[in-house]
Structure formats: C-alpha cells, structure tokens
Amino acid sequence: MTLERVAREGLVLLGCGKMGTALLTGWLAAGVPAGSVWVIEPNPTDWLKVSGVHLNQGVPKSPAVALLAVKPQMMGAALPSLQALGNGSTLFVSIAAGTRIDSFEEALGTRTPIVRTMPNTPAMVGRGITALCRNAHVSDADYALARELMAAVGQVVDLSGEDQIDAVTAVSGSGPAYVFHLIETLAAAGEAEGLPADVAMQLARATVCGAGELAFQSSDTATQLRINVTSPGGTTAAALGVLMDPDAGFPALLQRAVKAAADRGRELGK
C-alpha cells in the first residue's frame, strides 16, 4: 500500500479544522500511525491534543506529503512555514478552494509536485467525494498516494485538468449545502400543509437521507429511480410537474445556482 510510505516518511497536515480532522481520522483508521503525522494548527481541538500526532512541533526534513488544509484566505500567511519543503520530493496536496496550482508553485517553487483536490463535507462521515488534478511534476506513484489519502474518506474521481475544478466545486464541493437547503425547504413546505414543525423536519431529513442512500446503493440511474416512484397521474407526478418545469423548476434553478458557484470559484482563483 502506498500509505506505507506515509508511515515511513511522515505526513504534514497544515490546518486541522473540520475537513482536516475528517481526513486525519480517516488516515488513522486506515493504519497510518499517529506518530507519523505532524499537525500545524493554532487552535487544536481536545481530540487533536490527545490523538498522538506531533502537534505544533515543527515538521520533518523531507516528509512524503504536506497536505494544505487551511482556509484559502489564510493560505498566503501559512505557506511560508512549509516553503523549505518545496522543489523537493515532498508531495503537496491542497484541499483549498480558489487557490490555483500556479499560486502554489509561485510560493513553494516551480518544481514542486502539487496535487489540487476538491473534497466535500460528507468526508466527515466517510461518505465524501474528492476530485483530483496534478501538475507536471507529480509522478504516477505520487498521484496514487494522493488518491489513496483522499479515498480514506470517500470516493475519488480524476480530472483531465485544473480547469474543471470550479465546476466540481459548484457541483460536489458546494452541493451538500444545496441538499441541506432542500431539507429545510421541504420541511417548511410540509409545515405549511399542516404538519408540526418537528414532524415535518423529521420526515424531510429521513426522506432525503434515505433517497440518497438508495441512489448510492442502487444500480439504477437517478432517472430510473425517479420513474420507479412516480405513478402516472398520481401525487408524485403532480409535484414533479412543478419541479421539472423547464423555466421555473429544478432544471433552470440548479443550472443557475451551479453556474453562480462556478463563476465565483473562477473569481477567487484570479
């Protein structure tokens, strides 16, 4: 396993907020020794303090991986602490939205191997999905290591180039918020039809979570699953007549929403 290299040479985690914690939890569960991980985090949680990792104790001379998990707006101030690792054998992996590979090359050195990824928050429960792309200095072995690190918290997909990252951000990176808002609005609609607020919320949460799990486990397409639950002339068909309206329904609304997120990602990357 490529994670054996991490156990042997070490891994540096720059930033350990919610996503960094999710990743670290996944790595430890996958067998990476806590003693092989160095974490730089100014506000560590109680769990991190007792996790057994090297916390705020500098970094090894040449770790296998340095994973960048600080917020994009903090990246400029945080990167200098790892600048000495650039242009070497250390693989840099970024999970920061809006920070392009060329920005990392400028800060760390033009020969630095860099993998840029876009995970999402379901990684916190081991059900994330991460898209990855790389610069020309990342070997196939290094890329396999980056994939395995991200696969510890969910699925992984490969991108043909960095130009696809903003679309990924808009669909899966930001997507969980769209689903959470669906739960909110579905519950509110149930309440408007006379359900108690707590019952409406319980129904909405369980329905969205259950439908998501069915979509995850089923070999049917999402289209077929929709057809399976829709009786002609029935209640579901009546609702879908509204939701699938080409001008006012989900198709146009979600396309506008995803485009807005992708456009914002492109702005942040400039």
**Which fold would CATH assign to domain 175-268?**
ProC C-terminal domain-like fold (1.10.3730)
Mean per-residue pLDDT of the chain: 95
Q: Is residue 12 within 8 Å of 36, Cβ to Cβ?
A: no
> C-alpha 267: how far from its chain's center?
20
Quote the tokens at residue 51.
Answer: 């996790």
The answer for residues whose C-beta is within 8 angstroms of residue 224's C-beta and 6 or more apart is none
Confidence category of residue 1, pLDDT binned at 50, 70, 90: low
Please state, in angstroms and rounded to a whole number, the distance separating the CA atoms of residues 47 and 24: 11
pLDDT tens column, 165-208: 999 999 999 999 999 999 999 999 999 999 999 999 999 999 99
Residue 150 pLDDT: 96
pLDDT tens by residue, 144-154: 999 999 999 99
Distance between CA atoms of residues 197 and 115, nearest Å: 45
| Helix, strand, coil percent values for the chain (each to nearest 5) | 55, 15, 30
Task: Give the DSSP H or E segment for 210.
Answer: helix 197-217
Does residue 15 surpass a pLDDT of 70? yes
Fold (topology level) of 3-165: Rossmann fold (3.40.50)
Going 76 to 81 to 83 to 88, the CA torsion angle's sign is: negative
Give me the residue spans of the domains in the chain: 3-165, 175-268
Mean pLDDT of 129-140: 98
Of residues 217 and 270, more confidence is placed in 217
> Of 75-89, 125-139, 172-186, 228-242, where does mean pLDDT reach its minimum?
75-89
Q: Give me the sign of the Cα torsion angle 179, 181, 187, 192.
A: negative
What pLDDT, in 10s, does the model give residues 20-70? Answer: 999 999 999 989 999 999 999 999 999 999 999 999 999 999 999 999 999
